[in-house]
Amino acid sequence: MEIKIQNVSMTYPSGKQALKGLNLELKSPSLIGLLGPNGAGKSTLMKLLVAALQPTEGNILVDRMPLSKAESHLKASLGYLPQDFGLFDELTVTQFLDYMAALKGIANPKTAIQKTIQAVNLEEKAKSKIRTLSGGQRQRVGIAQALLGNPPFLIFDEPTVGLDPEERIHFRNLFSRTAEEHLLLLSTHIIEDVQSVCDQIVVIHHGTILFTGTPEQLIQSATGHVGVFWEKDETLEQGLHITARVNTSQGIRCRAVADKLPSYAQAEEPSLEDAYLYLISREAAQ
Amino acid sequence: MSKIFRYECRRLLWNKFFIGLAVVLLLYGALVLHAVTILGVSHTAPFSPWSFGDYLSRMLPLLWIGMLFFLTFYTSPKARRAAVLMDATPMPPKQYALVRCAAALTGGVLLSLLCMGEAAVFYGRMFGWYGWGSLLLPALATLLPALVFALGSGWLLGQIRPWLVYVWMAVPFLCMALPLPDALGIWNGHFFSKYPLALGTLDPAFSMPAAVLIVQCILLATGIVLLMVRPARSKR
Amino acid sequence: MKTMRLFPLELKRLLQSRLTWLTMALTVLSPVLGLVLYKPATSTTMLSMYLANPAIAGGVAGAILFGLLTIFELDRACRSRVDILTDAVVSPLTTALTRLLALLTAAVLTVGLTMLVWLPISAGLIGSVFTGANYVLAYLLLMGLALPLGVLAAAAAYQFTRRADLSIVLFIAFCALSLTVWASDWQLCWLNPCVWALSDDFSNFRVFRSVAWMRFTWLLTLAGVWTVSYLCIRQYGKGVFGSLARSTRRLYRPVIALALLACSGTAYAAQPFIDRSNPDLTVMSFYEIPYAEGVTFVRRTAQVFPDTDAGTVTGRASYQFQNTSGQEQSVSFGINPGYTISNVKANGADVPFTVSDYQEYNEARLEVTIPAEEEVELTMEYSGFPQESLPTMQGGKELSREYLCLENSALSPRVMNVMPGEAGYPTTIEITLPASMIAIPFSSSEAEVISENEDGTRTWRYEANSAGGILYAGDYICEQIEAGGMTIEFYYGRKHQAVMEAAKAVDAVKEVVDYCTEHYGSLSFGAGETLKLIQSRVAGGGYAVGGASLLDEADFTIANLGNAEKGGGAGEVMIHELVHQWWGLGNMFDTSDSTSPWSAEGLTVYTTYRIVKELYGEDYAREHYIDQWQQTVDDYYLNFYVRNPKYLEMLPEQVQLAISNSLSQVRQYNEMPLKIWKAEQLVGGEEAMDQILHDLFNRELDPMYPYLTYQEFLDACGLTEEDLNLE
């Protein structure tokens, strides 16, 4: 599967421009992480990709066909989990997945449902009504309906919200395995989710792409720009962006990113989170 | 498609609201039958098609409200949150909407059958009368156009603004209060109380003048057409 | 208390909502529906048309609007999922109570605003008979109390079901019940009180009290139901019954709920306004009580003390009998069902007595055992709130400083089974009234003041000869009219003076009396040729006795003056009741067969038609009389149950009775006048009929059977029954 986003802009009727001249190529198999602060344009991009919105400028090509003409082809190949979604509380997990399978036109729904329920670890709750599930279990139902029918293109918006650490690791591994043969776009705030499994990272801010590349490339870009120091009475220099503050017995240990580190700061190997924050803060400074 | 229809019927009809509405309809219907229908309408028997039609026209407001409430299952904020998932599937939106409307119509028909059944039991117990065949035509003429029109108009309004469905629930009450032309007589019950008197015979068989028939056909057709209409709006 | 602290916040939030403002605005405007669309008060008095109808319509619309607002507001927290947050801070029970108080306060504010807005409009429409007291009471009771009921009912529905959709359906059905099926049950129609008329000229305290009782009963009921629903508010993830079990741990809560429901049940059962008379009007068992053997009536005296503030009556009655049987005898009296009897003594000694639970024609039966002595003086005391028997037409037994009407057993216990003595039933009545009222016996008797009391009251006395008797009192003006060779004392309320003069009421009365005297002959009442014509509080009809006729205030209203069709002249009910002096009293009719179409009404209605024809023209008379009779008679004979009586017998007894009662008067008031009109055509026209009727009126009476029969009428016309069959 191949998705090409060509110079796409999206301006809402209220006048807010959510995306500006976006260019991006997504090819399967890969797992692409989409990072960005709140309001960056991630959800807008996802809505454009699921044909819930139409761009005000630019084109989106799906397997070289314009999305406007290939909508049904896209939806037949799509598994989508939005950030905010609802379920039919009065149905059981199995019934709801059966319903979604019917909507997706899946030929052998029983097998598909069973496989999906196993994949999301909901066997014990398969016959329970959705209204009785916890928040994390409901999230798993959401993931399950996206995975139904093994669609070639998957979009997950904050899929691990509400999951405990063990479940998050489980789903990270699931996404990673799935991406071996599918195109998977994963939008998240949780850096660890992206770091461990994504082939490619796209960082969006204020509707434009700040970075496209591998996690290692992003980390590399922040080398020499991450340092640690003790917070004393030193005046903080302009451009210094504190990323962590830890109380220790000897004082407060600060970790910061900056274009130019101050002399009292000791350079550190950047993490992916540091690199992301450095990128964002540099863009904000500009 | 049939699976989706079955699930939608299950969602709409196997819940407290439907059961509660059915109970309210039965209670209200019993009171209407015992207080009003029992006296007979236009000098005809309580079990005449005219008295039966009058009974149904009194039940119509509650059936109308019930029908529109079924549609609010699809237009409520909760339903809209779930719709995000459904919209991402390859199911053609028009087909999906039709299936859901069919489920809502099924709910309306079931409630109507409940009202009709109650009247049948009332006639049997009170008068030992069991000629239900003669009641089919007035039932179809009174209820079917109204339910389909409620469905189509409610569906369209719900797509424009969800709260419009609630405002639309007041329509049958307005019809009862306002002076309507004879052609709309079914909507305020006057058709059943006035038209048989104009026929000039005692205990006339059920018939409808052309104007009323045309209006009911128009409403039925309008309801069907409105189901097909999708308001033009930009995707947000 | 947290509720009191949160209440102003919740009220402020509510009043800032646009939907609340919309609801309030629509409610303030809603009385206009009572002027154009919804007119349950059918009387043509100004207060009925321009005060009662708007107030009732405002109550109906306001209650529905506020009920829907209540459901919307209570569901709002659930819809927006804010309840998860708020329930962590404030108990859902406290929240529910706070919201209820805020909604009730908004309702009260709305009523106040409505009253302010509609005050000048109502005053302008009603005109000279507008009073502030009537206005305030009407809007408070007919409209104001409806809104809290709507709020409580809707809130209870939501708290039980926790679903907005089901709550709306339940609430709408509850409203629909009141408006349709319960519309004629005065205690159940919580939304649309049974107010058929408000008087322009006299007070309306009875009607207002009745509405207040009904609303108060429903307030208790719905407060109790709401309290139960309050206990069912979901807590700790429990369902209805789990939450109920949890909430009832604080014992005072279910106790309050039960107390409210118990009080409402008591109020419902113990209502003092309407009696429990047998609805079967064909049963007249009180007239079939065998006469007490050997007992004859000598004299009755009664001292009556109406309490015009409380609307109650207290009295002392004394009966003198002659008991020649040598045995104890049971004497029966009819008493008003609202009265209690006490201190029953015969010749100074207590005697046993019972009061029946069975009631008939607005009377209960008091049975007293009198001793075997030859001369018996029976005394008793009675007191209470007089009850009426027509729940949908209340107000007839109004008792206030402005007006009272005490009829028969409401005035004093009416002896039922004692033969008259040589002098008949000689009676002396003394009644103590406020100084502003004059007493008018509804008979040929005249009342006179016998004492002016220190407390500002006056005691009146009059003599009569009757086992019963009717007394009117009020702030009346009396005009003397000479017509038909007799003096007519025309009594009408002082407030009505301007309207009466504008309507030339006196001339109208003269016209009717002159017509009847000219066509049928003079009336004779024995000593003194005086006829009383008394304007009553709006009654929807009237009646007559020898020497007195009733005129309904609705016959002459400002609205009627503007009615060009009637020519601004005499009210037709007044004509009808005056004509009864000739047909029904001047000539009597046998009333033993209530199913017979022949009665005083036939000739009275026919004569009324003839007078109306002279006054307003043939077209008007034909449209409002002949055509109406024909239509009504056609409808009667077309009625399904009249054509198929076997189906009527299949119905439950109560339904059979209701149908029979509604049909019983059709033949007397419509079929018979139509037959008489047909007879007029067959005998050669109006002049010929007038001569026949003149001869019948002045015929020599058989003292054993003085009644005018249908056969006598047919014989006088030279016709048979078949000749007058209506095809």
Q: Are residues A252 and A164 in the same domain?
A: no
Residue C567 pLDDT > 50, yes or no? no
CATH no. for residue A160?
3.40.50.300
- A97-109 confidence digits (pLDDT tens): 999 999 888 888 9
Q: What is the pLDDT of residues C56-92, one digit of tens each?
A: 999 999 999 999 999 999 998 888 777 877 787 788 8
What's the mean pLDDT in B79-107? 90
Q: Residue C526: what pLDDT?
A: 44
Estimate the crossing angle of helix C146-161 against helix C164-179, to 10 degrees.
140
Same domain, A142 and A169: no
Average pLDDT score over residue span C125-154: 95
Per-residue pLDDT tens for C363-405?
A: 999 999 999 999 999 999 999 999 998 888 898 889 999 999 9
Per-residue pLDDT band for C568 (boundaries 50, 70, 90) equals very low
Give the residue from C158, C640, C653, C655 with the most B CB atoms within 10 Å of its CB, the best one to mutate: C640
**Burial track C290-308 (b if 16+ CB lie within 10 A, e otherwise):** eebebbbbbebbbbbbbeb
The amino acid at A169 = I
Is residue B236 in a domain?
A: no
Contact criterion met (CB below 8 Å) for A272 and A219: yes
Four-point Cα dihedral C450, C452, C455, C458, nearest 10: 50
ipTM value, please give it. Answer: 0.85
What is the pLDDT, as a whole number, of residue B234? 44
Mean pLDDT confidence for A63-87: 86
pTM passes above 0.80: no
C606, C676 contact by CB (below 8 A) = yes
Q: Tell me the pLDDT tens digit for each residue of C4-61.
A: 888 998 999 899 988 999 999 999 999 998 998 888 998 889 999 999 999 999 999 9
- Across the beta sheet with A30-35, the strand order is A78-81, A153-157, A183-187, A30-35, A200-205, A208-213
Residue contact B236–A91, C-beta within 8 A: no
Do the strands C312-323 and C375-384 form a parallel or antiparallel pair, or are they unpaired?
antiparallel
Is residue C546 over pLDDT 80? no
- Å from C224 to nearest chain B CA? 21
Question: Residue C348 — pLDDT band, cuts 50, 70, 90?
Answer: very high
Give me the pLDDT at residue C430, please: 96
What is A153-183 written as a DSSP string?
EEEEESTTTT--HHHHHHHHHHHHHHTTTSE
The sign of the CA dihedral C97, C99, C105, C107 is negative
Mean pLDDT, range A243-259, rounded to an integer: 86
Q: Does C82 touch chain B (CB under 8 A)?
A: no
A50 and A159: one domain?
yes
**Average pLDDT value for residue range B75-92:** 87
Are A208 and A265 members of one domain? no
Distances (CA, A) of C65 to B84, C62, C168, C220: 34, 5, 11, 21
C135-to-A143, C55, C553 alpha-carbon distances in Å: 66, 9, 19
Helices (H), C564-644: 572-579, 600-616, 618-621, 627-638, 640-643
Is A165 found in the same domain as A73? yes
| Torsion sign over Cα C655, C656, C661, C667 | positive
State yes or no: pLDDT of C527 exceeds 50: no
- Alpha helices by DSSP H, listed for C127-235, are 132-138, 146-161, 164-179, 205-231
Q: Same domain, yes or no, for A68 and A182?
A: yes
pLDDT reported for residue C101: 95
B-chain residue closest to A10, CA distance: B236
CATH of C475-582, one of 2.40.50.140, 1.10.390.10, 1.10.10.10, 3.30.70.890: 1.10.390.10
**What is residue C727's predicted lDDT score, i.e. its pLDDT?**
66
Cα–Cα distance between C559 and C180 in angstroms, integer? 29
Q: What is the pLDDT of residue C319?
A: 96
Find the range with the poorest average confidence among A174-178, B102-106, C416-420. Answer: A174-178
Tell me: pLDDT of A281 over 60: yes
pLDDT at C129: 86
Q: Is residue A233 predicted with pLDDT exceeding 70?
A: no
Domain C281-472: which CATH number of 2.60.40.1730, 2.40.50.140, 3.20.20.140, 1.20.58.100? 2.60.40.1730
Residues in chain B: 236
| B93: chain A residues, CB-CB within 8 Å | none
The mean pLDDT value of chain B amounts to 89
How many domains is chain B built from?
1
For residue B20, give the nearest of C169, C641, C651 by CB distance. C169
Query: Is the residue at B233 inside a domain?
Result: no
pLDDT at C524: 62
Per-residue confidence (pLDDT) for residue B231, from 0 to 100: 63
Query: What would the two tokens of residue C531 be?
Result: 């006829």
In this predicted structure, the answer to whether residue B64 has a pLDDT above a threshold of 80 is yes
- Is the omega angle on the peptide bond into residue A29 within 30 degrees of 0, that is, cis? yes
Q: Which residues of B touch C172 (CB under 8 A)?
A: 61-62, 65
Whether residues A57 and A171 share a domain: the answer is yes
Q: DSSP string covering B39-84, please?
A: G-STT--TTSHHHHHHHHHHHHHHHHHHHHHHHHHHHSHHHHHHHH
Cα C315–C320–C321 angle (5° rounding)?
A: 135
Q: Evaluate whether residue A261 is within a structural domain.
A: yes
State the Cα–Cα distance between residues C335 and C547, nearest whole angstrom: 25
- Confirm whether A82 is domain-assigned: no
The arithmetic mean of pLDDT across residues C165-194, rounded, is 92
Q: In 3-state terms, what secondary structure has residue C414?
A: strand
CA gap C193, A32 in Å, rounded: 71
Q: Is residue B133 part of a domain?
A: yes
What are C289-300's pLDDT values in tens digits?
999 989 999 999
Same domain, A133 and A274: no
Instruction: Report how far residue A162's alpha carbon sits from residue C318's, in angstroms, rounded to the nearest whole number.
Output: 90
- Contact, B56 vs B115, CB < 8 A? yes
Question: Do residues C320 and C396 lie in contact, with contact meaning Cβ atoms separated by under 8 Å?
Answer: no
| Neighbors of chain C by Cβ distance (3+ pairs < 8 Å) | B
Mean pLDDT of the region C351-371? 94
Number of domains in chain A: 3
B125 and B37 Cβ atoms separated by less than 8 Å: no
Q: Show the domain range for A281.
A: 219-285
Name which residue leads in pLDDT, A158 or B232: A158
* pLDDT tens by residue, C574-589: 788 778 878 876 567 7
Q: Give the sheet arrangement for strand C403-407, strand by strand.
A: C403-407, C470-474, C438-441
pLDDT (mean) for C100-113: 96
pLDDT of residue A117: 94
State the SS3 of C489-501.
EEEEEHHHHHHHH
Using an 8 Å CB-CB cutoff, list chain B residues near A104.
89-91
Q: Are A191 and A274 in contact (CB under 8 A)?
A: no
**Is residue A131 domain-shared with residue A34, that is, in the same domain?**
no
**C309 near B CB under 8 A:** no
Q: Copy the structure tokens of residue B39.
A: 């006296």
**Structurally, what CATH architecture does the domain formed by C591-724 represent?**
Orthogonal Bundle (1.10)
- Are C170 and B24 in contact by the 8 Å Cβ rule? The answer is yes
Q: For residues C27 and C115, is the Cβ–Cβ distance under 8 A?
A: no
Residue C451: beta bridge partners?
A: C459
Question: How far apart are the CA of B40 and the nearest CA of chain A, in angstroms?
Answer: 44
Sorting pLDDT into bands at 50, 70 and 90, what band is A69? confident
- B38–C651 CB contact, under 8 Å: yes
Which among A50, A52, A88 is the nearest to B82, CB-wise?
A88
Under DSSP, is residue C33 helix (H, G, I), strand (E, B) or coil?
helix
Name which of C424, C325, C423, C333 is nearest C380 in CA terms. C333
Euclidean distance between CA atoms C303 and C316, whole angstroms:
5
- Count Cβ neighbours within 10 Å for each residue of C645-682 and write b for 16 or more, e otherwise: eebbeebeeebebbbbeeeeebbbbbbbbbbbbebbee
End-to-end CA distance of chain C: 78
Q: Which pLDDT value is given to residue C561? A: 58
Closest CA to C406 of C462, C342, C480, C360: C462
Q: C475-582 and C591-724: same fold? A: yes
Question: What's the average model confidence in pLDDT over C670-692?
Answer: 93
The pLDDT of A51-73, averaged and rounded, is: 86
Q: Which of A104, A125, A147 is the last residue of a domain?
A: A147
Is B232 an 8 Å CB contact of chain A? no
Confidence of residue C123 (pLDDT cuts 50, 70, 90): very high
Q: Which two tokens stand for residue C66?
A: 């506020």
**Do A19 and A66 fall into the same domain?**
yes
Can you spell out the DSSP letters for C339-395? EEEEEEEETTEE--EEEEEEEETTEEEEEEEEPS-SEEEEEEEEEE---BS-TTS--
Q: Can you tell me the mean pLDDT for A144-149?
A: 92
**Mean pLDDT of all residues in chain C?**
89
Interface test with B, best of A11, A87, A103 (most B CBs within 10 A): A103
pLDDT digits (tens, 9 = 90+) for C443-472: 888 999 999 999 999 999 999 999 999 999
Where exactly are the structural domains of chain C? 2-218, 281-472, 475-582, 591-724
Q: Which domain holds residue B23?
A: 2-228
- Which of A2-16, C261-275, C324-338 shows the lowest mean pLDDT across its residues? A2-16
Q: Which residues contact C361 (CB under 8 A, 6 or more apart)?
A: C277, C278, C281, C284, C286, C389
Alpha helices for C489-553 (secondary structure H): 497-502, 505-519
Question: For B45-58, what is each residue's pLDDT tens digit?
Answer: 999 999 999 999 99
The residue among A213, A232, A249 that closes a domain is A213
Residue pair C570/C505 in contact (Cβ under 8 Å)? The answer is yes
Which residue, among C330, C418, C343, has the nearest Cα to C382 in the 3D structure?
A: C343
Tokens linked to A60: 């989106």
Distance in Å, alpha carbon of A56 to nearest chain B alpha carbon: 11
pLDDT of residue C497: 84
Kindly list the distances between the CA atom of residue C683 and the CA atoms of C605, C610, C620, C693, in Å, as whole numbers in the listed order: 19, 16, 24, 12
Q: How many Å apart are CA C474 and CA A198, to the nearest integer? A: 98
| B14 vs A: CB within 8 A | yes
Measured CA to CA, the distance from residue B208 to residue A11 in angstroms comes to: 56
Q: Which of A183, A215, A217 lies closest to A198 in space, CA to CA? A: A215
List of chain B residues whose C-beta atoms are within 8 Å of the C-beta of residue C165: 17, 69, 72
